[in-house]
Amino acid sequence: MPSALRCTAFLALVGASAACTQNGESQPPKPAATPAAETTSAAAPATSTAPAASAAPAAATAAEAPKAAPADAKGTGLPKDLNVLVVTVDSLRADMPWLGYPRDIAPVLTNFAKTAVSYSRFYAVSSYTAMSLGGFLSGRYPSELERSGYFFGNYPDSVLMFPELLQKAGVRTLTAHAHFYFDQKAGFRQGFDVYEIIPGLSVDNTTDKNVTSPQHVDLAKKILSEKANTGGRFFAWFHFLDPHDQYMPHDGIGPYGKSTRDKYDAEVTFTDQHLGKLFEFVDSQEWGKRTAIIVSSDHGDAFGEHGMYRHGFELWDVLTHVPLIIRAPGIVPRQIDEPRSGVDLAPTILEMFGQPKDPAMQGTSLVPELYGKDPEKRDVIQDLPRTSDNDRRRAFVRGDWKLIAEGDDAGYRFFNLKDDPAEKVDLKKKNADEFEKIKAAYKDKSGTIKDVCPKMREKLKGKNKKKPC
């Protein structure tokens, strides 16, 4: 899609009072007041090629935190007064040092993984932010959710997000972000008592001037320092952005080299350093010893694999295979090598608070295996619904096998990830019997996903237009 058209489409989606230049860049609107107790601001959308816009934040207010009912630990070792902090790092690939990457780009997270349960085969729900985080928050696949149908998809209030269930249970819910996509119209605001966006973000779709990790840590510490927020049980989520393209140099880091991956690695190191400051703060607090910390990502990034750069549009492993590290009181550190999915996080977090998952949620809680149960073998689905910019894709992982379904299952690719982790050799003809077996299993699993046709807010023009259904 031409950049000018994409800019217009995005601004129509989010309802921003901004203008687009002939080059497709958005011009920021004048600062507008936002309601007290909620904050919105602006940054570049959390996908591959979008422009950005900006707005001014307003301060959040907080009432005294309600007390959550004690959790039923059910023999898992879960403390009855556990809190949960989730840190998602945008575009963080799975090939990090604790899983064998040779460059020591994330010493904080590498050491953190040694104190936690680390997953070597964790998959984001989808390959870009809108779809992946919708799946994380709902515990469902994005194809099942009411949504706009745009590439920069948003969700109506009718979509149940797990923070709403925590809020109803008396858990204080807190979040802060560094990106325009997290504006209130994305649909991620529901269920949060405190929802903030880092202020002062600029507009630039060619160089990312929004270096946000320092401000993000400061804002997170401010939110977590307020007794109204952490005096009782709480859930907090912070989505760090700096590893998302474009890449900025940082004093004292690298340079590792001139390639795109080298620049990305420097951004990971920069973010890792600031995560260390956040973890140190958490550990220094009275409530820190009873707070689980979950670290993951919304998607990976491509650096030339399969002819791609950035993310979205496809479901290659470099786009969906991401880290998952969970540190919680009472767990024994280990690595789990069975495939797991981003839809598992909502049921996991709900169980940590002693709450049942919603019946519509597709995921399975990881709590039993966090506390020592042998990991079960499970299949994993990745879901990329058709949007204004891309055709539908689904991927299915069973053991070492991975199937990618293109369009409405019009074509397939078939790989053995153990022998071919780069997904270069399509085996559907050479291993026809195994392919048919895996395809049948995929069809069964995919059939449990009830597709919802999104409602486009307006018709998009251009060669890349795709019908939503």
**What does the domain layout of the chain look like in residue ranges?**
29-379, 382-446
Percent of the chain with pLDDT over 90: 55
Best CA proximity match to 128, nearest among 329, 388, 334: 388
Ramachandran angles phi, psi of 78, nearest 5°: -65, 125
Mean residue pLDDT of the chain comes to 80
Mean pLDDT across 401-429: 93
405 vs 36, more confident = 405
346 confidence band (pLDDT: 50, 70, 90): very high
Per residue in 357-393, pLDDT (tens digit) is 999 999 999 999 999 999 999 999 999 987 766 778 9
The third-level CATH classification (topology) of the domain covering 382-446 is Arylsulfatase, C-terminal domain (3.30.1120)
312 confidence band (pLDDT: 50, 70, 90): low
Q: Which string of DSSP letters, residue by residue, matches 282-293?
A: HHHSTTGGGEEE
Mean pLDDT across 145-154: 71
Strands (E), 110-155: 117-123
Name the CA dihedral angle for 160, 40, 345, 280, rounded to a multiple of 10 degrees.
-150
Give the separation between CA 319 and CA 157, rounded to whole angstroms.
28
**Lowest-pLDDT range, 55-59, 318-322, 347-351, 416-420?**
55-59
Best CA proximity match to 94, nearest among 108, 112, 106: 106
351 vs 204, more confident = 351
Name the CA dihedral angle for 425, 428, 429, 434, rounded to a multiple of 10 degrees.
120
Q: Is 276 exposed, middle or buried (0-12, 13-18, 19+ CB in 10 A)?
A: middle
434 confidence band (pLDDT: 50, 70, 90): very high
Per residue in 91-107, pLDDT (tens digit) is 999 999 999 999 999 99
Which CATH number is correct for 29-379, 3.40.720.10, 3.30.1540.10, 3.30.200.20, 3.20.20.70?
3.40.720.10
Same fold, 29-379 and 382-446: no
**Residue 402 token pair:** 């991975």
| 288: Cα separation from own chain's centroid | 24
pLDDT score at 132? 87
209 confidence band (pLDDT: 50, 70, 90): low
Residue appearing with tokens 């071919």: 420
Mean pLDDT across 131-143: 92
Per residue in 261-309, pLDDT (tens digit) is 999 999 999 999 999 999 999 999 999 999 999 999 999 988 888 777 7
Mean pLDDT across 234-244: 92
pLDDT score at 184? 63
Give the separation between CA 428 and CA 264, rounded to whole angstroms.
34
Give the separation between CA 104 and CA 379, rounded to whole angstroms.
32
